[in-house]
Chains A and B, each alone.
Chain A
């Protein structure tokens, strides 16, 4: 029995033998530098993510509410504003671009604490057992969020569940673990960062790089090898990876830089015509007969008291036209700013006495798409810059961009700008 116990205490060897972890770079200081970057960066990603959910005005129901079981997880929701017009563009561009740029930092952080995963014995106390569970929440959570986010922006839906459902609920599991981890580890992080000067460390060459003093968390190798890269070099590789990813992605959100987004699906140009900008549901995908968009098309406005007004496109064109420079900003992070011309939505609402309602329910000619019907809030209906656009950049909308008419709302997610609008019902919940 004694021999067996000794065998068990000795551990299975391999990565469970702490002498097999030999990098002299691992240690609380390096981990804490990466942790500090993630603390700040992930806080921004979390906040912009939660704001992005609010930007759909989920309380309006229907396709606005992609996660109807949210319960208290939606307790923070608030009516989404309509200005500044770039609000969602900046919010979502930040969420996606920063999320991508942090991937190397996340992976480096995981590398820096990898020996902890293979600690032996795996559990020494209830506290440690709970902490390991919380680490699964963080590690599984952040990797799940990265994988689903990165796949979603590339239209790879291999996971087979709703992106909204997965990304939203997993985010809350991650947030829970992240908050507890920060609360417990913040003092360790601060102490470790103070253990050496960042500036001085950035002057240490590879040949002078040695392991940190042994630490209570056992991150420092007990059997360090000779350094093959300095901490400066390692941080430069991580930072270079982040900057490289950022440089190759930022063009998806900034029109003049678009060709630089070499590997992003949204780096490609459609040409240089007035309708040659990013599309997210082509007309071909809708299954709509083009004839329905022609002379037969009518816009139907339904008021709260049942008043119905039907308009032909030519009649809309005789109403007072306004032009607004407004962005289309996708939840996927890409965006593009264009000059739209059309009728103010509030003027159309007034035709059926619907301008004071809490919402408008917009139906598209599109059949069956997840966002073929969608609601806008009363605030969005009344916003001066919310248009039913008929033209873009001085010419008629193309079929891909929503001809004969589409909604364009300032500051909102792109998918809320319903295309091929058929009916608008004011004051009707979804």
Chain B
């Protein structure tokens, strides 16, 4: 859950240009085969007579890898074709891909960015005392957003006979408690430090 914990106190030497040699050597010393280092990839070495070496060179991994991938794709394609004539299939696909994109390209980077902004707190030993309650509060908001933001007030009323207006206050209260406990721990810790 911890966002990118990297500190950026010293300027990063990562220029957008990059040196391609470094990258080539990275691709070389790393094993591109997902099977792990004990199954060397043929591309880096002289062709051997080991059976399957040519396959490995062309495909990039062993035959079992291909079997596993094809089985997975086959099952997925089967599942999708079952609802191909369902009018909701497009919406389902959009939410499926959208969920991955929103996390990978919006929420994940937003959390990392927020964490970068908090980094100066590390100097006074307060970083995790802000990070942890913030993450806790954010997590609760992420999970219970429909209730906290009263997005389904009407349905909850007619279906369950309940109200949604209690949740915002409760979430704020839990958030306040998280920060208060964290702040108290910070004070205790710094006092002990001084003593």
Contact = CB atoms under 8 A, between A and B. Distances in A.
B160 A282 contact: yes
A170 B96 contact: yes
A324 to B, nearest CB: 24
Interface string B59-92: 1110001101111111110111011001010011
Contacts of A288: none
A110 B14 contact: no
A339 B96 CA distance: 42
A159 B69 contact: no
B79 A23 contact: no
Interface string A1-15: 000001001111111
B45 interface: no
B23 interface: yes
A76 to B, nearest CB: 13
B14 A17 contact: yes
A86 interface: no
Scoring B91, B136, B143 by chain A CB atoms within 10 A of each residue's CB, the highest score goes to B143
Given A120-B23, A268-B166, A165 B86 contact: yes
Given A136-B100, A241-B135, A228 B127 contact: yes
A237 B91 contact: no
Contact of A226 (B7, B16, B75, B159): B7
A124 B34 contact: no
Contacts of B158: 282, 284-285
B44 interface: no
Nearest to A154: B146
A158 B173 CA distance: 27
A137 interface: yes
A159 B89 CA distance: 11
Given A11-B18, A103-B143, A184-B65, A156 B151 contact: yes
Nearest to B101: A140
A305 interface: no
A10 B17 CA distance: 7
A296 interface: no
Interface in A266-302: 266, 268, 270, 278-282, 284-285
Contact of B32 (A124, A133, A184, A400): A124
Given A17-B16, A166-B92, A268-B166, A184 B68 contact: yes
Contact of B88 (A136, A162, A400): A162
A19 B12 contact: yes
Contact of A125 (B23, B61, B109, B128): B61
A158 B151 contact: yes
B170 interface: yes
A253 B86 CA distance: 34
A225 interface: yes
Contacts of B83: 69, 165, 169
B104 to A, nearest CB: 6
B2 A25 contact: yes
B92 A127 contact: no
A124 B72 contact: no
A266 B18 CA distance: 54
Contacts of B128: 228-229, 233
Nearest to A22: B6
A15 B95 CA distance: 25
Nearest to A16: B18
A24 B5 contact: yes
A282 B161 contact: yes
A293 B159 CA distance: 19
Given A180-B68, A268-B162, A25 B146 contact: no
B100 A263 contact: no
Interface in B95-129: 95-97, 99-100, 103-104, 108-109, 119, 122, 127-128
A223 interface: yes
Interface string B128-166: 100110011001101110111001100110111111101
B4 A13 contact: no
A183 B68 contact: yes
A54 B88 CA distance: 23
A107 interface: yes
Nearest to B86: A165
B7 A71 contact: no
A111 B76 contact: no
Contacts of A187: 35-36
Given A17-B14, A156-B152, A157-B155, A25 B88 contact: no
B95 A23 contact: no
A414 B19 CA distance: 62
Interface stretch (A57-65, A142-150, A344-352, A375-383): A142-150
6 contacts: A9-B23, A23-B2, A126-B58, A154-B144, A216-B31, A237-B1
Given A187-B36, A224-B6, A263-B143, 14 more contacts: A10-B17, A18-B26, A21-B4, A23-B4, A69-B86, A72-B78, A125-B59, A131-B34, A176-B71, A227-B5, A237-B132, A241-B136, A263-B144, A268-B162
Interface of A: 6, 9-15, 17-25, 69-73, 100, 103-104, 107-108, 110-111, 114, 117, 120, 124-128, 130-131, 133-134, 136-137, 139-141, 143-144, 146-148, 150-151, 154-162, 165-166, 169-170, 172-173, 175-177, 179-180, 183-185, 187-188, 191, 216-218, 221-229, 233-234, 237-238, 240-241, 244-245, 248, 262-266, 268, 270, 278-282, 284-285, 400
| Nearest 8 pairs of A and B residues by beta carbon | A125-B60, A22-B6, A13-B16, A127-B60, A161-B88, A156-B146, A143-B99, A180-B72
